[in-house]
A and B are shown apart, each in its own frame.
Chain A
């Protein structure tokens, strides 16, 4: 028993080493959030937290949580059919090809992906050129620099994070159960609705909360695709740092966002556990 515990600690050591800077940095941010501008380390105050109640921060907060929630829901709706295909593909080759296609966004830098959307949705982009060449419009449509463009970017970048856990969960649903239901007269839609999805539901909820947490802290996507007009909290925090040098304000907003995301994901997790399978 003692040997196993020691071995366990040795195995955990790399994780602890990696986690230490993250925890240390989080504690520094927490301490800074209680600081005072220009005297962050020598004075303590709550002004930065009181400022979060102002209309400016409140609007950004609500926008951030709303866009994160919307993108999570859309991701789940898109991910389930993709995961079903991945889970049920018999050909190993095609399964690998599809998996690679799903994983691509994780392999490509986030900035490059956002630039890709600029190419697709921009005034001289693929969509506008197609519409102009078909004569459906006279001047390029303004598809970028607004909430819909940011939402598209958030959905696309978080999709792999949602597809993979749902695929694993669907693989765990015994095919024999689905076949048994079919032999008893259940249609495909009924099997999906009453057997497959309910069994995979905890994983679907977990994947959705993962997408929510990922997109709540989004910075590059709203910055590039929103071009300053979609003020998610990540962008606001960036402005507080540069050019305002208000590190306590930036830190308090970060702490509040982290707390809100943790609270919401915990509540959703609790709800998911209480739902009967």
Chain B
């Protein structure tokens, strides 16, 4: 007698559960259909530093959310490690996408390790200005802009220096720093000095002579940004460059460090294009790979990367917040369009070894 009510109750429970099933199942089915790359994997090689961390937040996460694809990220030390890894891997498919500094792309391209970029598969490329769009003879596309200006002491300068001539003004800039020889910034400093002295990248001699005039006032070559920041804090540095405020994401905003950055030089500020490349032999699906590359230059992703790591965006329609637009450390797309200048990567690749040695000899 007592089993009958239980049996009826159980039947009602099962019936209610069965009736609810379509309501639970249906949304899941709809979500899977909306995500076009579900089940696909993209293997990314990028930096181990803040730039890599920001990439996980601002590019990888939204890409995975939007497409359903999975991104496996390998964060290695720096561009030289990436080049060494890829050369060691040879023809073995290891990575689908690599983001690295501009100098690494030609090295990999000349070793025959990269695929030519199919620009038609990257819709966001149309908003990237010509000079940042393609690099390494078509084997790389622009990713971000590393922007270099002057770093100055707010104790020495009441307003931002507006010319590179400030470096040669002994009466004000008594103690300066320059970039170290193993930074690309040092090569841009040679170009800057050459242009300042009436030469240019193909005629750097005036630049080397001009740099020799700085020798006695150079306190150090800024190998370690923390050391540089500490010297500004202690009042031991007045000015330095070419250098990026991105090296001091915390210190430059802290008033106790007495430092700020200027992109307001009338000669323009310098940029280095960080690149995205696709290896010739890769494990992933082309649709997923190109979709990810497109995401790297998405205007929202670019805006967020710019704000996070104080780099410039290659996409002229990058979405920046009001705070970012007003920040002296973040060049806006308009500033980049009007005042940014750069060097010839292909020409520099031929002369870099010689220039690095000469630069080192001047300051060591």
Q: Which residues of A are interface residues toward B (Cβ below 8 A)?
A: 38-41, 54, 56, 59, 118, 122-124, 140, 142, 144-145, 223-224, 227-231, 236, 238-239, 241-247
Complex CA–CA separation, A74 to B92 (angstroms): 51
Interface size grouping (class) on chain B = 35 or more
**B107 & A123 in contact (Cβ 8 Å cutoff):** no
- Shortest B191–chain A CB gap in Å is 15
Which residues does chain B contribute within 8 Å of A229, judged by CB atoms?
218, 220-221, 363-364
- By Cβ-Cβ distance, the 6 closest A-B pairs, closest first, are A228-B221, A242-B80, A124-B234, A227-B220, A123-B236, A228-B180
Number of A-B contacts (CB under 8 A): 90
A and B contact pairs by CB, cutoff 8 A, 15 listed: A38-B110, A41-B87, A56-B357, A122-B230, A145-B219, A228-B182, A231-B364, A239-B181, A239-B356, A241-B84, A242-B182, A243-B101, A243-B182, A243-B183, A245-B103
In the complex, which of the residues B83, B104, B219, B352 contacts A142, with contact meaning CB atoms closer than 8 Å? Answer: B219
**A38 & B111 in contact (Cβ 8 Å cutoff):** yes
Which residues does chain A contribute within 8 Å of B218, judged by CB atoms?
229
**B234 & A238 in contact (Cβ 8 Å cutoff):** no
Which residue of chain A has its CB nearest to the CB of B101? A243
Instruction: Known contacts A229-B363, A247-B84; decide if A223 and B223 are in contact (CB<8 Å).
Output: yes
Q: For chain A, what secondary structure do more than half of its interface residues adopt (helix, strand, loop), or is it mixed?
A: loop
Complex CA–CA separation, A118 to B360 (angstroms): 22
Which residues does chain B contribute within 8 Å of A123, judged by CB atoms?
231, 234-236
Complex CA–CA separation, A142 to B231 (angstroms): 11
Which residue of chain A has its CB nearest to the CB of B228? A227
Complex CA–CA separation, A140 to B364 (angstroms): 22
Complex CA–CA separation, A123 to B175 (angstroms): 12
Complex CA–CA separation, A142 to B233 (angstroms): 15
B184 within 8 A of A: yes
**B220 & A228 in contact (Cβ 8 Å cutoff):** yes
B353 within 8 A of A: yes
B361 within 8 A of A: yes
B138 within 8 A of A: no
Per-position binary interface string of chain B over residues 68-90, scored 1 when its CB falls under 8 Å from any chain A CB and 0 otherwise: 00000000001110011001000
Which residue of chain B has its CB nearest to the CB of A123? B236
> Which chain B residues in 174-231 approach chain A with CB under 8 Å?
180-184, 218-224, 227, 230-231
Q: With contacts A124-B234, A227-B221, A244-B353 known, what are 16 further pairs, Cβ within 8 A?
A: A40-B87, A56-B360, A59-B361, A118-B230, A122-B230, A123-B236, A145-B220, A227-B220, A227-B223, A228-B180, A228-B182, A229-B363, A239-B181, A239-B356, A243-B183, A247-B84
**B352 & A244 in contact (Cβ 8 Å cutoff):** yes
**A243 & B220 in contact (Cβ 8 Å cutoff):** no
In the complex, which of the residues B103, B107, B181, B357 contacts A38, with contact meaning CB atoms closer than 8 Å? Answer: B107
Complex CA–CA separation, A224 to B353 (angstroms): 23
- Shortest A51–chain B CB gap in Å is 9
Complex CA–CA separation, A260 to B82 (angstroms): 31
- Shortest B217–chain A CB gap in Å is 11
Complex CA–CA separation, A244 to B182 (angstroms): 8
Complex CA–CA separation, A90 to B364 (angstroms): 49
Which residues does chain A contribute within 8 Å of B79, judged by CB atoms?
242-243
- Shortest B290–chain A CB gap in Å is 27
Complex CA–CA separation, A247 to B80 (angstroms): 10
- Shortest B36–chain A CB gap in Å is 38
Which residues does chain B contribute within 8 Å of A227, judged by CB atoms?
180, 220-224, 227
**A118 & B83 in contact (Cβ 8 Å cutoff):** no
